[in-house]
Amino acid sequence: MHSTSLIPRETFFGNPDKAMVRLSPNGKHLTYVAPKNGVLNIWLKPLNGKKADTCITHDKGRGITNYAWAYDNEHILYVQDKDGDENWRLFSINIKTGSIKTHVDQKNVQVTFIHSSEKHPKKFLIGINNRTPNYHDIYLLDLSKNSLLKVYENNEYIGFMADDDLNLQLVMKMDQEGRTNWYKRDADKWKPFISFSHEDSSNTGPVLLSKDGKSVYMKDSRESNLAKLVLMNLETKETKEIIAPQKAEARIMFHTQEKTPVWYSEDYLKPHRVLLDSRYKKDFEVLEKARKGFPSVISSDQKDKIWIVAYVTDTEPVHYYVYDRMTQAMTHLFSNRKALESVPLQPMHPIEIKARDGLKLVSYLTLPEGCTVDGRNAVPTVLLVHGGPEARDSWGYDALHQWLANRGYAVLSVNYRGSSGFGKKFVSAGDGEWSEKMHDDLIDAVNWLKTQKIAAPQKIAIMGGSYGGYATLVGLTMTPDVFACGVNIVGVSNLITLYKSLPPYWKPVIDMFKIKLGGDPYSEKGRAVLMKKSPINYVQNIIKPLLIGHGANDPRVKQAESDQIVEAMKKNKIPVTYALYPNEGHGFVRPENRLSFYALAEKFLSDNLGGRYQKTTEAEKKSALQIREAAEG
């Protein structure tokens, strides 16, 4: 059954070799993040190939996970938080001098990016919540002066759209009914522009101002399920339909200078591209013939002559190329994980599973070596539940799928109702359905696995992070006979304490959470509903092993969510293993911590499902892991 050797966890979950590839606006340099002394930093690569790649930042902590070029081609801006607290600090580096400047670095303060423009290459419009934690005031950052100027004191809005002169033109707030309300600038005031219902708001709203600033491209699902792309005149509100996707929400690419849509992709079972501009026909003919996988343009120069193309497939790492549109020449750069190029990976099968009420659930199945879809040999299986819940699983290389398949498990990921990407009706079908119809979808998927004789019925685990962690707890408390064990990563145990502990900058959208969760914790009726949906109230039902992992600085799902269910299990004399990482947040970013937790999970699954496992390595033992509670055995 297992002729394939164990692929080391480091290959899946260690730092990538290279990732987050970006072109400078003038196309003369590219940047990427790669490890320096085990920490992800930004590296600079001249495209002419005359100089060696250079590491230009020197972080020694959690690494750099997000950055952007300034239009002056000299500066790169990047953000970092402190051990996962998501209070993003802002820095810039001058690629010529190597000088790093700190722009925003205050305790309990978060920076958000609003807009930048080729017309003002050294300026950025940003939001900072340093005056009040609930709202971000708008500031103009000028790199030439190293200055910050407050341009708008904000006490009510949570969404912003600016023109290329870096002036705010549209702002947004939500009301108590979950409606999204957009306002348009009218001299020094804001006047109502357009409003969307709660259901429409999941996939409707402005996307980009037109080049002349007179219109706005907008996703619009008011008269459809999937959002159309329309061009709306800001004065008359007349609209022109541009795109009407058929199977899934459109992901749209705009021309860098013309600001017109040039192609879009729909990702239902697998991604599919539709060209809107004939100038790109030959380009994609070249790209699609070049190698296996779906070619995705992830960065371009400002003149749209040079692209960085990433090839996505299920059985290979991501490969990056430089593509010159003028000559149609392609240059292979690297893959994100070279070690994956020489190991056997298993295909990911896109499938549709029908829920009990007829809803179609787009799902992805990966099987271990020697296992076939026809069900001739049922195997231990992991149901892997995505977070969000307004997110989705997609086809392509997935580290968790490949790791688990290599250990001998079938792996199924399900886009349960409430997931994004499949239209507003699919999203709103999850409203108020936490632990109910959303969980029914997962149980229906498990029953499908059994019916197809893919999963060994007594050896099915449930595993997930955030909402997926909540689903794991629901699985073990409310359907205790279905799963053999569960792995909960930063999961919610109590919907009332979750609601009351959300970050302050989420407070302006708090009414939306009432609709999503199905109850108001400040009303007697609402509390009863939320208590019914909270796994903490069914701890006594847990009869299967549970592993919990959490980051102590998680601002979204506080550590208290795991603390309280562990305490409740201890009081009920129910064994549990609880792993806490004091220097992490909503997930595990530091590679040593990520590897450490998955080593625990691998041994846990092996003990309960019978799959293979790799012994803990010396590097994994150097993590910040604290075992707060250990089950016997």
CATH assignment of the domain containing 448: 3.40.50.1820
How, if at all, do strands 455-465 and 379-385 pair? parallel
Domain edge (last residue) among 153, 181, 209: 153
Q: What is the pLDDT of residue 444?
A: 99
Q: What is the pLDDT of residue 75?
A: 98
Q: State whether 352 and 433 are in the same domain.
A: yes
Q: State whether 423 and 308 are in the same domain.
A: no
CA angle 422, 196, 185 (to 5 degrees): 125
pLDDT digits (tens, 9 = 90+) for 491-529: 999 999 999 999 988 888 888 889 999 999 999 999 999
Is residue 428, in this structure, part of any structural domain at all? yes
- Is 586 an active-site residue? yes
Q: Is the four-CA dihedral 390, 393, 396, 398 of positive or negative sign?
A: positive
- Is 554 an active-site residue? yes
Q: State whether 299 and 444 are in the same domain.
A: no
Given 92, 201, 215, 466, the catalytic residue: 466
Report cis status (omega within 30 of 0) of the bond before 344: no
| 567, containing H or E segment | helix 559-571
Phi/psi zone of residue 49: left (φ > 0), alpha (ψ -120 to 50 degrees), beta? left
Domain edge (last residue) among 153, 170, 193: 153
Determine the angle formed by the axes of helices 467-478 and 437-451, rounding to 10 degrees.
70
- Which one, of 474, 364, 495, 496, lies nearest residue 419 by Cα? 364
Q: State whether 320 and 414 are in the same domain.
A: no
Q: State whether 375 and 325 are in the same domain.
A: no
Please state, as a whole number, how many other Cβ atoms lie within 10 Å of the Cβ of residue 105. 13
Length of the chain: 633
Q: State whether 283 and 427 are in the same domain.
A: no
Whole-prediction pTM value? 0.96
Q: How far apart, in whole angstroms, are the C-alpha atoms of residue 484 and residue 488? A: 14
Given 103, 198, 386, 586, the catalytic residue: 586
SS3 342: helix
Query: Rounded to whole angstroms, what are the CA distances from 138 to 113, 144, 218, 395, 598?
Result: 10, 19, 23, 38, 41
Is residue 328, in this structure, part of any structural domain at all? yes
- Which one, of 516, 536, 535, lies nearest residue 526 by Cα? 516
Q: State whether 347 and 408 are in the same domain.
A: yes
- Is 466 an active-site residue? yes
Q: State whether 326 and 348 are in the same domain.
A: no
Q: What is the pLDDT of residue 446?
A: 99
> Could you tell me which residues come within 8 angstroms of residue 620 by beta carbon, excluding any fewer than 6 positions away?
9, 592, 595, 596, 599
Q: What is the CA radius of gyration of the chain?
A: 25
- Which one, of 80, 109, 93, 5, lies nearest residue 44 by Cα? 93
**Total count of domains within the chain:** 3
Residue 93's DSSP bridge partners are 76, 100
Q: What is the pLDDT of residue 188?
A: 86
Q: What is the pLDDT of residue 542?
A: 98
Q: Which domain holds residue 611?
A: 341-494+534-629
Q: What is the pLDDT of residue 277?
A: 96
Flag residues of the chain having pLDDT under 50: 1
Is residue 165, in this structure, part of any structural domain at all? no
Q: What is the pLDDT of residue 114?
A: 97
Domain edge (last residue) among 153, 174, 198: 153
Residue 216 phi/psi, 5-degree rounding, is -135, 135
Given 419, 435, 554, 596, the catalytic residue: 554
